[in-house]
Amino acid sequence: MTGEEFKPDQIIRKNNTLICLGLTPQENSCIKSIAHKHRLKVVDTDIYSDLFALPSLCVILNPNTLSQEELKTLIDFWNETNESCFSVFFSCQPKNLLPARLNTRFICTLNDIVANNSVLELKVVRHIKRINREIKQSKIYEAKIVRLLGILKILNQNKFVKTMDLVKKYKVSARTIQRDISLLERTGEPIFYDQAKRAYSLLGQENIYWGND
Protein backbone atom coordinates (compact mmCIF):
# COMPACT_ATOMS: atom_id res chain seq x y z
CA MET A 1 0.00 0.00 0.00
CA THR A 2 1.41 3.41 -0.98
CA GLY A 3 -1.09 5.55 0.91
CA GLU A 4 -1.75 7.52 -2.26
CA GLU A 5 -5.31 8.23 -3.35
CA PHE A 6 -6.58 6.74 -6.60
CA LYS A 7 -7.31 9.24 -9.32
CA PRO A 8 -10.70 8.83 -11.08
CA ASP A 9 -9.04 7.66 -14.30
CA GLN A 10 -7.16 4.94 -12.39
CA ILE A 11 -10.26 3.27 -11.00
CA ILE A 12 -10.98 -0.10 -12.58
CA ARG A 13 -14.65 -0.84 -13.11
CA LYS A 14 -16.60 -3.69 -14.61
CA ASN A 15 -17.89 -1.49 -17.41
CA ASN A 16 -14.62 0.16 -18.45
CA THR A 17 -11.83 -2.42 -18.28
CA LEU A 18 -10.35 -5.05 -20.56
CA ILE A 19 -7.92 -7.53 -19.01
CA CYS A 20 -5.23 -9.10 -21.19
CA LEU A 21 -2.89 -11.96 -20.40
CA GLY A 22 -0.22 -13.70 -22.47
CA LEU A 23 -0.71 -11.67 -25.66
CA THR A 24 1.90 -10.56 -28.18
CA PRO A 25 2.90 -6.88 -28.46
CA GLN A 26 0.97 -6.67 -31.75
CA GLU A 27 -2.16 -8.11 -30.13
CA ASN A 28 -1.86 -5.76 -27.15
CA SER A 29 -1.43 -2.80 -29.50
CA CYS A 30 -4.60 -3.79 -31.36
CA ILE A 31 -6.59 -4.06 -28.13
CA LYS A 32 -5.28 -0.75 -26.81
CA SER A 33 -6.39 0.90 -30.05
CA ILE A 34 -9.94 -0.46 -29.56
CA ALA A 35 -9.88 0.58 -25.90
CA HIS A 36 -8.73 4.12 -26.73
CA LYS A 37 -11.50 4.49 -29.31
CA HIS A 38 -14.18 3.53 -26.79
CA ARG A 39 -12.60 5.14 -23.68
CA LEU A 40 -11.79 1.86 -21.98
CA LYS A 41 -8.88 0.86 -19.78
CA VAL A 42 -6.55 -2.03 -20.55
CA VAL A 43 -4.89 -4.03 -17.80
CA ASP A 44 -2.06 -6.05 -19.34
CA THR A 45 -1.19 -8.56 -16.66
CA ASP A 46 0.98 -11.61 -16.25
CA ILE A 47 -0.62 -12.54 -12.93
CA TYR A 48 -3.09 -15.39 -13.20
CA SER A 49 -5.07 -14.34 -10.11
CA ASP A 50 -5.90 -10.95 -11.69
CA LEU A 51 -8.34 -12.78 -13.93
CA PHE A 52 -10.36 -13.58 -10.80
CA ALA A 53 -9.74 -10.47 -8.76
CA LEU A 54 -10.19 -7.55 -11.14
CA PRO A 55 -13.60 -6.39 -12.38
CA SER A 56 -13.75 -6.31 -16.17
CA LEU A 57 -15.93 -6.10 -19.22
CA CYS A 58 -14.05 -9.00 -20.78
CA VAL A 59 -10.85 -11.00 -20.57
CA ILE A 60 -8.63 -11.50 -23.60
CA LEU A 61 -5.95 -14.14 -23.21
CA ASN A 62 -3.74 -16.73 -24.77
CA PRO A 63 -5.08 -19.91 -23.12
CA ASN A 64 -1.81 -21.73 -23.78
CA THR A 65 0.06 -19.52 -21.31
CA LEU A 66 -1.91 -21.25 -18.55
CA SER A 67 -1.61 -24.78 -17.23
CA GLN A 68 -4.52 -27.14 -17.77
CA GLU A 69 -5.40 -26.90 -14.07
CA GLU A 70 -5.34 -23.08 -14.13
CA LEU A 71 -7.52 -22.99 -17.23
CA LYS A 72 -9.97 -25.47 -15.70
CA THR A 73 -10.20 -23.42 -12.48
CA LEU A 74 -10.83 -20.23 -14.45
CA ILE A 75 -13.53 -21.82 -16.59
CA ASP A 76 -15.25 -23.24 -13.50
CA PHE A 77 -15.16 -19.78 -11.94
CA TRP A 78 -16.57 -18.10 -15.05
CA ASN A 79 -19.27 -20.75 -15.39
CA GLU A 80 -20.36 -20.17 -11.79
CA THR A 81 -20.32 -16.38 -12.22
CA ASN A 82 -22.68 -16.70 -15.20
CA GLU A 83 -22.82 -12.97 -15.92
CA SER A 84 -24.71 -11.86 -19.00
CA CYS A 85 -22.35 -8.95 -19.67
CA PHE A 86 -19.02 -10.74 -19.61
CA SER A 87 -16.96 -12.54 -22.24
CA VAL A 88 -13.65 -14.32 -22.58
CA PHE A 89 -11.72 -14.14 -25.84
CA PHE A 90 -9.04 -16.71 -26.62
CA SER A 91 -6.33 -15.47 -28.96
CA CYS A 92 -5.80 -19.02 -30.24
CA GLN A 93 -7.14 -22.55 -29.92
CA PRO A 94 -6.30 -24.08 -26.50
CA LYS A 95 -3.89 -26.99 -26.69
CA ASN A 96 -5.40 -28.49 -23.57
CA LEU A 97 -8.75 -30.21 -23.75
CA LEU A 98 -11.51 -27.98 -22.42
CA PRO A 99 -14.12 -29.38 -20.00
CA ALA A 100 -17.14 -31.00 -21.63
CA ARG A 101 -19.42 -28.88 -19.41
CA LEU A 102 -17.92 -25.68 -20.83
CA ASN A 103 -20.46 -22.89 -21.26
CA THR A 104 -19.45 -21.62 -24.70
CA ARG A 105 -21.92 -18.73 -24.47
CA PHE A 106 -19.29 -16.44 -22.96
CA ILE A 107 -16.12 -17.85 -24.60
CA CYS A 108 -15.05 -16.95 -28.11
CA THR A 109 -11.91 -18.08 -29.92
CA LEU A 110 -10.65 -15.42 -32.32
CA ASN A 111 -7.53 -17.30 -33.51
CA ASP A 112 -6.00 -14.09 -34.90
CA ILE A 113 -6.79 -10.95 -32.91
CA VAL A 114 -4.96 -8.63 -35.28
CA ALA A 115 -6.78 -9.97 -38.36
CA ASN A 116 -10.12 -10.21 -36.51
CA ASN A 117 -9.89 -6.91 -34.63
CA SER A 118 -13.17 -5.67 -36.15
CA VAL A 119 -14.96 -8.77 -34.79
CA LEU A 120 -13.45 -8.17 -31.36
CA GLU A 121 -14.40 -4.49 -31.44
CA LEU A 122 -18.00 -5.29 -32.40
CA LYS A 123 -18.33 -7.75 -29.52
CA VAL A 124 -16.79 -5.30 -27.04
CA VAL A 125 -19.16 -2.52 -28.16
CA ARG A 126 -22.14 -4.85 -27.71
CA HIS A 127 -20.95 -5.63 -24.19
CA ILE A 128 -20.57 -1.93 -23.38
CA LYS A 129 -24.16 -1.25 -24.46
CA ARG A 130 -25.47 -4.27 -22.58
CA ILE A 131 -23.69 -3.48 -19.33
CA ASN A 132 -24.68 0.19 -19.46
CA ARG A 133 -28.31 -0.89 -19.79
CA GLU A 134 -27.79 -3.20 -16.83
CA ILE A 135 -26.26 -0.42 -14.72
CA LYS A 136 -29.09 1.96 -15.62
CA GLN A 137 -31.69 -0.65 -14.65
CA SER A 138 -29.87 -1.33 -11.36
CA LYS A 139 -30.01 2.37 -10.49
CA ILE A 140 -33.75 2.41 -11.21
CA TYR A 141 -34.28 -0.59 -8.90
CA GLU A 142 -32.09 0.97 -6.21
CA ALA A 143 -34.03 4.25 -6.33
CA LYS A 144 -37.32 2.33 -6.11
CA ILE A 145 -36.20 0.34 -3.06
CA VAL A 146 -35.01 3.52 -1.29
CA ARG A 147 -38.33 5.21 -2.13
CA LEU A 148 -40.44 2.27 -0.90
CA LEU A 149 -38.60 2.12 2.42
CA GLY A 150 -38.87 5.89 2.74
CA ILE A 151 -42.63 5.84 2.13
CA LEU A 152 -43.01 3.15 4.79
CA LYS A 153 -41.04 5.24 7.26
CA ILE A 154 -43.12 8.35 6.53
CA LEU A 155 -46.36 6.38 6.93
CA ASN A 156 -45.08 5.00 10.20
CA GLN A 157 -44.24 8.47 11.52
CA ASN A 158 -47.36 10.31 10.31
CA LYS A 159 -51.03 9.56 10.80
CA PHE A 160 -51.95 10.71 7.29
CA VAL A 161 -49.76 11.17 4.22
CA LYS A 162 -50.95 12.82 1.02
CA THR A 163 -49.82 11.66 -2.40
CA MET A 164 -48.60 15.11 -3.41
CA ASP A 165 -46.37 15.34 -0.33
CA LEU A 166 -44.64 12.13 -1.48
CA VAL A 167 -44.51 13.40 -5.06
CA LYS A 168 -42.67 16.55 -3.91
CA LYS A 169 -40.31 14.63 -1.65
CA TYR A 170 -39.26 11.99 -4.17
CA LYS A 171 -39.70 14.08 -7.34
CA VAL A 172 -41.70 11.41 -9.16
CA SER A 173 -45.20 11.38 -10.62
CA ALA A 174 -48.37 10.77 -8.64
CA ARG A 175 -48.87 7.62 -10.68
CA THR A 176 -45.45 6.32 -9.54
CA ILE A 177 -46.36 6.93 -5.89
CA GLN A 178 -49.67 5.12 -6.41
CA ARG A 179 -47.83 2.15 -7.90
CA ASP A 180 -45.43 2.15 -4.95
CA ILE A 181 -48.30 2.17 -2.46
CA SER A 182 -49.98 -0.66 -4.37
CA LEU A 183 -46.77 -2.68 -4.25
CA LEU A 184 -46.43 -2.14 -0.52
CA GLU A 185 -50.04 -3.28 -0.04
CA ARG A 186 -49.30 -6.47 -2.00
CA THR A 187 -46.37 -7.22 0.32
CA GLY A 188 -48.78 -7.16 3.27
CA GLU A 189 -48.56 -3.58 4.52
CA PRO A 190 -51.94 -2.53 6.07
CA ILE A 191 -52.26 0.73 4.11
CA PHE A 192 -55.64 2.31 3.48
CA TYR A 193 -56.81 5.48 1.73
CA ASP A 194 -58.96 7.90 3.71
CA GLN A 195 -61.43 9.41 1.25
CA ALA A 196 -62.35 12.29 3.56
CA LYS A 197 -58.77 13.39 4.17
CA ARG A 198 -57.57 12.26 0.73
CA ALA A 199 -54.50 10.74 2.29
CA TYR A 200 -52.93 7.37 2.99
CA SER A 201 -52.61 5.94 6.44
CA LEU A 202 -51.04 2.90 8.02
CA LEU A 203 -53.73 0.85 9.74
CA GLY A 204 -52.93 0.79 13.45
CA GLN A 205 -49.74 2.79 12.68
CA GLU A 206 -47.81 -0.44 12.41
CA ASN A 207 -45.97 -2.03 9.50
CA ILE A 208 -44.60 -5.52 9.03
CA TYR A 209 -40.97 -4.34 8.87
CA TRP A 210 -40.59 -1.88 11.75
CA GLY A 211 -43.64 -2.59 13.90
CA ASN A 212 -44.62 0.51 15.81
CA ASP A 213 -41.12 1.58 16.86
CATH architecture of 8-115: 3-Layer(aba) Sandwich (3.40)
**DSSP conformational letter for 23:** -
pLDDT of residue 86: 74
d(CA 209, CA 130): 35
d(CA 97, CA 71): 10
Q: Note the pLDDT tens digit of each residue in 38-69.
A: 999 999 999 989 988 888 888 999 999 988 88
The one-letter amino acid code at 95 reads: K
Burial of 81 (0-12, 13-18, 19+ CB in 10 A): exposed
Q: Note the pLDDT tens digit of each residue in 130-189.
A: 888 888 999 999 999 999 999 999 999 998 999 999 999 999 999 999 999 999 999 999
Query: Dihedral of the CA atoms 198, 201, 204, 207 (nearest 10)?
Result: 160
Q: Note the pLDDT tens digit of each residue in 72-88.
A: 888 888 777 766 667 88
| Residue 34: CB atoms within 10 Å | 20
Domain boundaries, given as residue ranges, for the chain: 8-115, 143-205
**CATH assignment, 143-205:** 1.10.10.10
Least confident of 31-35, 114-118, 200-204: 200-204
What are the distances in angstroms from CA 211 to CA 133, 153, 186, 189?
37, 11, 17, 11
